[in-house]
Amino acid sequence: MGWRTNRTRRTWLASCASTAAGISILAGCTSDSSEPADDESEDDALAADTWPMYGVDPQNTGYHPTATGPTSEDVQVRKLFDGEGSISNSPVIVDGTLYVIATTRLHAIDLETGELEWQKEVNASPAAHPAADNERVFAGTRDGIVAADLEDGEVQWRNDIGISSVNPVPVNDGVIGIQNLFLHYFDLKNGNESTLHDMRDHQGGYPYTYVPAVNNGNVYFVSENTIYAVDIEDENIQWQFESSTEEPLGESDPTIFNETVYVGGEDQHLYAIKDGSERWKLEIDEPITCSPSVAPETVYFGGGGAGAQKFFAVDINEKIYEWDPKDLRYSVSAKPVITDDIVYVSSYYDLLAFDTEDGSVTWEIKEFGQEGGESIRAPPAISDETLYVPTAEGNVYAIEDA
């Protein structure tokens, strides 16, 4: 299965265009129209050198329709940054600068020179994924959330409300985040917090979504075995859906494409849900252990238990495997990221690039890192034909065609 770039860009833009709560840096995700014109300019798409958040967009798709990563059989690895601490967050890339949290500091690294532009001690949580709009980078801290200027790291506001490791999702006039079963909303100008939803009102519990998805003015998240859609403006639940087995779905963050939510979990099923109703479900025979990512025709995810680690590609139209599940040495430790040609998969100490058309391995790196054995706990980011990979040992590596 392959797809033509122009068609998928238009399709992706149509999905993004319905996002009333998109962020401004995603020019293609702020339109009021859900059907872009045939002459839609590629300038309206997310720039190929930009990766503004975990999952790349508010829908949490993990799919960048204009980006290109390393695609040849031979790749080279160079260390871009040594954070001297743990990095378990997905990098953000805006205007040639990579932003990442290491230990408790927020760092800005120039991608061309590899030099540190600035670093700011903000008491950040290295397990919380940062996000950016046109002016600020947002980071979850050990006490709340902070917004820092992209250019110099100056703190524009912070809110220490006693929550830890919130993963910010910027929307038009605020920032969404989940922590401790509360769905929080932070004002974009001053960081003031309000509670959009308390999952415990519905006897919600653990596990729960860590990174919510946002689309068409709704926030989508999971608590235990139930996925909720909450309206951002009126804070009401639009719909909720319970897994058929009553087993937890909260191990993975939901992703959205064409108004359909894809999620899976311990109950060994991948669900496709629209307007609160099950469109279809596919039995996987393995727990889904990572957050799925979705491109125009395929959803990708990892699953398995002890001794059975696999990577899956499912055709969302035919509801069948696009290609045979791939056996891996380790479980899929982070959300996959996708371009038109390649899906990049981290499997703890291994990194693999699968061809999206036939599932063949384009390249793989075992025992990742210069010294070998560095673990990858967060999704990579893509910019200008380069894949940027963080490791739990505190480094960021750049992978390029040799």
Task: List, for residues 138-160, the tens digit of each pLDDT value.
Answer: 999 999 999 999 999 999 999 99
CB 354 within 8 A of CB 361: yes
The mean per-residue pLDDT over the stretch 195-210 comes to: 79
Domains of the chain: 5-401 (2.130.10.10)
Task: Give the type of residue at 359.
Answer: G
What pLDDT score was predicted for residue 393?
A: 93
Average pLDDT, the chain: 86
Between these two residues, 10 and 390, which has the higher pLDDT value?
Answer: 390
Provide long-range contacts, Cβ within 8 A and 24+ apart, for 360-369.
362/71, 362/72, 362/73, 363/70, 363/72, 363/73, 363/74, 363/75, 365/75, 365/77, 365/399, 366/329, 368/397, 369/393, 369/395, 369/397
Using pLDDT thresholds of 50, 70 and 90, give the confidence band for residue 306: low
By the 10 Å C-beta count (0-12 exposed, 13-18 middle, 19+ buried), 233 is classed as: exposed
Q: For CA atoms 269, 345, 134, 178, give the dihedral sign.
A: positive
Cα torsion 372, 111, 188, 252 to 10°: value is -30
**What pLDDT does residue 5 have?**
31
Tokens 């899929």, residue?
332
Q: Which DSSP letter does residue 28 get?
A: G
What was the pLDDT predicted at 307? 62
pLDDT at site 105: 95
CA 216 to chain centre: 18
Burial pattern 97-116, b for ≥16 Cβ within 10 A else e, equals: bbbbbbbbbbbbbebeeeee
Q: What is the pLDDT of residue 44?
A: 58
Q: In the structure, what pLDDT confidence band is assigned to residue 199 with cuts at 50, 70 and 90? A: confident
List, for residues 347-369, the tens digit of each pLDDT value: 999 999 999 999 999 999 999 98
